[in-house]
Structure 1
Amino acid sequence: MFRRSDTSIVIATVILFVIFSLSNPSFLTPFNLFNVSRTAALYVFIALGQAIVIVVGGMNLSLGAIGGLTVVIAGWCMDTMGWTPWIGVPLAMLTGTLCGMFNGFIIIKSKLNSFIVTLASLFIFTGLVQGISQGFPYSNIPKDFTMIGRNDLFGIPYLLLFAIGVLLVMSYVFKFRVVGRHILATGGNLEAARLSGIRTDHIVFLAHTLSGVFAATAGLLWVSRMGAAQPSTGTDWLIISFAVAIIGGTALNGGEFSALGILASAFMLTLIRNGLIMLNVNVYFEQTFLGIIVLLAVSVESIRIAISNRTKHTQSDTT
């Protein structure tokens, strides 16, 4: 079980589901399961924005701010300017993509650590969010846009179907496409990847650009679900992105990605937050629980890597 991180998280998620189902009868109601699925789907996109950067050995502290800026731009276009989603959504997506490209460009040109660059851009993008919105939400969102986040197909939310589709594409890219193998190789050993002919600067730039795309997608889907563009969107995404990505098997030292693990960990985190509320646990301690979960996940991942390395060494010695 320790050889595959996604196997252990799937088992843990199933156990949590059973525990909460037995603890509270209302947990299995269609309404609650629908909300859990929608939230988990949003967590998938938030986690992908962080995971794609972690895979290449970096991090994106500005992920939530990019999502918040995307939300504000979308709200400004559709509410203040009165434009249709066909105009507002592409402009918002372009904004998030440019933010990711900005991070990647500064990192590869300055050779600074992604922690420093994205910490600085976190304040830049947050300032833009507050400056544009003045702290006021945009509530006049067209109904045809909110249908994406609120409707379903045979009881399965559109958001979840979309998230699963994106995860399948990402899994295919990492397993069977050259660019996916280059991303994994860059994260596994940057110098070795460079010496083997991989244009690592381009890969790092691509990872941060995709991070901006996923953050923007999460922001737009968040607006679609809530029916309003709140400037506060994204303020809690940093811990969510790291928690889901790390618990889902994305190695902190780069070079590993698991689509199944991210989906399972997104549901796991959603179940925990939902279960704490249904069990009347003090919600003010929610961040404490999430921090403990992240710490445990990192510890388990370290143990898993140690066991895996020991097994490999034993097998090599035997042969």
Structure 2
Amino acid sequence: MAIIFAISSPNFLSAFNIFNMSRTASHYIFLALAQSMALIVGGMNLSIGYIGSMSVVTLGLAMQNNLPPTVAVILAILVGITAGLINGTLITRLRLNSFVVTLSTSFVFQGLTVGISKGMPYNKIPTTYQWLGRGSLFSVIPYMLILALIILVITFIFFRQTVLGRRILATGGNEIAARMSAVNTDRTILVANCLSGISAAIAAIAVVSKDGSANPGVGADWMIYSFAVAVIGGTSLKGGIISPFGLIASAFLIVFIKNGLVMINANSYFEQVYLGIILLVSVSFTSIGALLSEYNKRRAYQKEKRNREETVK
């Protein structure tokens, strides 16, 4: 796709465009991580966008009252953790479906965001805070991308090397089996939802740094991108599987499509149509792959059974 768009538009591979695409891809990675943390335990998080908008308002309000950026960032992350804790508690304690819980809390979080901010942005963002969203290495690699890559490496190590990470994957793969293996599945689901909230808060922190203002309207379109990047990147909708580095390719794929369509003067009003089709095709390929795998396993079992019968004869 990069080759096709590069041929179609000479500006596609310019340093400025690569910087913008990488920065947007970084934002999508944060969103995908937020959704993936909920998906890997067999749930979903429809409130990601409004957790992000609450974190944005918290960040802007703190800086508007002359609090240091470090304190504002900590408060925004605490908001993300609290929102994730609320979602996880409702899911585990009341035995409610994650779809219903996060759909309901999304309205609550949205109402809090609008009620606190009155719908007005906070523009008193220090220039020293904007280095993350606007700075770059060698004028090409944005610091946002470096942060996203660091977080992905930490995520990979967490799920590959730590006990808690393996238990979260086990819970998503088969909750009943995990519970019978002495895994506290309620706690792992709670932790996964808190991690989802933290990732949404990090996305909000990066957006404020990039835009130079804290706009409570951000987050309205985060849900579709969080699902698209997560699913195309290899996170299983059934739980138990996450591919941190697959999220990188998925994020850049969607950015290439969006940016390339602009470069070749495609109709931007149909952008959501293209993204929806890509997501549908990706999910279809995943399902087809699972069916083929099951078919091959069944054939292998039947072949082994015939071989045993022939041996007995």
Band of TM-score, shorter chain:
over 0.9
1:82 lines up with 2:70 in the alignment: no
The runs of 5 or more residues in structure 2 that have no matched partner are 305-313
Alignment-derived partner of residue 88 in structure 2? 104
Amino acid at match of 1:116: V
CA deviations 1:220-264 (Å, max 9, x no partner) are 001111111111111000000000000001111111111121111
Please give the alpha-carbon distance, in whole angstroms, between the structure 2 residues aligned to 1:312 and 1:157: 45
- Output the aligned Cα RMSD: 1.1
Secondary structure of the residue that 1:111 maps to in structure 2? coil
The match for 1:142 among 117, 120, 126 is 126
Alignment-derived partner of residue 120 in structure 1? 104
Please give the alpha-carbon distance, in whole angstroms, between the structure 1 residues aligned to 2:148 and 2:302: 43
- How far off its partner does 1:311 sit? 3.0
Please give the alpha-carbon distance, in whole angstroms, between the structure 2 residues aligned to 1:177 and 1:306: 31
Secondary structure of the residue that 1:198 maps to in structure 2? coil
Secondary structure of the residue that 2:240 maps to in structure 1? coil
Amino acid at match of 1:66: I
Secondary structure of the residue that 1:26 maps to in structure 2? coil
Alignment-derived partner of residue 241 in structure 2? 256
- How far off its partner does 1:314 sit? 3.6
1:25 lines up with 2:30 in the alignment: no
Number of residue pairs matched by the alignment: 303
Amino acid at match of 2:278: I
The match for 1:200 among 185, 199, 215 is 185
Secondary structure of the residue that 1:197 maps to in structure 2? coil
CA deviations 1:155-191 (Å, max 9, x no partner) are 3111111111111111112122211211111111111
Is the deviation greater in 306-315 or in 41-50?
306-315
- How far off its partner does 1:317 sit? 4.2
Alignment-derived partner of residue 175 in structure 2? 190
Alignment-derived partner of residue 282 in structure 2? 297
Alignment-derived partner of residue 4 in structure 1? none
Secondary structure of the residue that 1:280 maps to in structure 2? coil
Is the deviation greater in 98-107 or in 165-174?
165-174
CA deviations 1:8-56 (Å, max 9, x no partner) are xxxxxxxx11111111110010000000001101110100000011010
Please give the alpha-carbon distance, in whole angstroms, between the structure 1 residues aligned to 2:233 and 2:141: 22
Please give the alpha-carbon distance, in whole angstroms, between the structure 2 residues aligned to 1:169 and 1:315: 38
CA deviations 1:46-77 (Å, max 9, x no partner) are 00000011010000000000001100110111
Q: What TM-score, normalized to structure 1? A: 0.92
Alignment-derived partner of residue 310 in structure 2? none
Please give the alpha-carbon distance, in whole angstroms, between the structure 2 residues aligned to 1:145 and 1:313: 57
Alignment-derived partner of residue 155 in structure 2? 170
Q: What TM-score, normalized to structure 2? A: 0.94
